[in-house]
Amino acid sequence: MLITCIKLGQKGVNNNKNTVFLLLLDLSASFDTVDHSILLSRLSSRFGIKGTVLARLRSYLTSRKQFVNVNKGKSSQRLLERGVPQGSGLSPLLYLLYTSALADIIKRYNLEYHFYADGTMLYVAFRTDCLDRMVECKTTIEQCVRDGHQQAQIKSRQD
């Protein structure tokens, strides 16, 4: 990440821009926070997934249970109301589709980005007189995270 930040700073200087805006989204336990109804709604309305395929995805996500087994003791089963099953090749794709609204913001504000398993780094170099637009961008991202019912800790730093 340090190399990325150094390259970003150099790019900003080379393009006669004097501010770098870095927004780090730490989506802790991100796969565990996926709201099934929001995901299924996005799959249908945004990506056109309907009928049997949507019904199978609904079945894949809902009515899942978990328990803890330690030594010879086993807890009672609990219904999982959120999250995508981990360990499946389908889960990262479902998570990506779930967070697709963030891609719209990235395009709208012309941000550069790096996605990680549990976080996102968004950055842009700009002139100081455009600070209001960057503050608007941060506010839009915060709202996107809240609307997606994702639990996130949003940190920003301006250098």
Average pLDDT over residues 12-32: 67
In Å, what is the CA distance from 39 to each residue of 29, 52, 111? 16, 16, 24
For the entire predicted model, the pTM comes to 0.68
In Å, what is the CA distance from 115 to each residue of 7, 75, 80? 17, 36, 26
Looking at every residue in the chain, the average pLDDT score rounds to 76
3-state secondary structure of 155: strand
- End-to-end, the C-alpha distance of the chain in Å comes to 15
* Encoded tokens for 87: 């360990």
pLDDT in tens, 25-58: 776 677 888 889 989 999 999 999 999 999 999 9
d(C-alpha 48, C-alpha 134), whole Å: 32
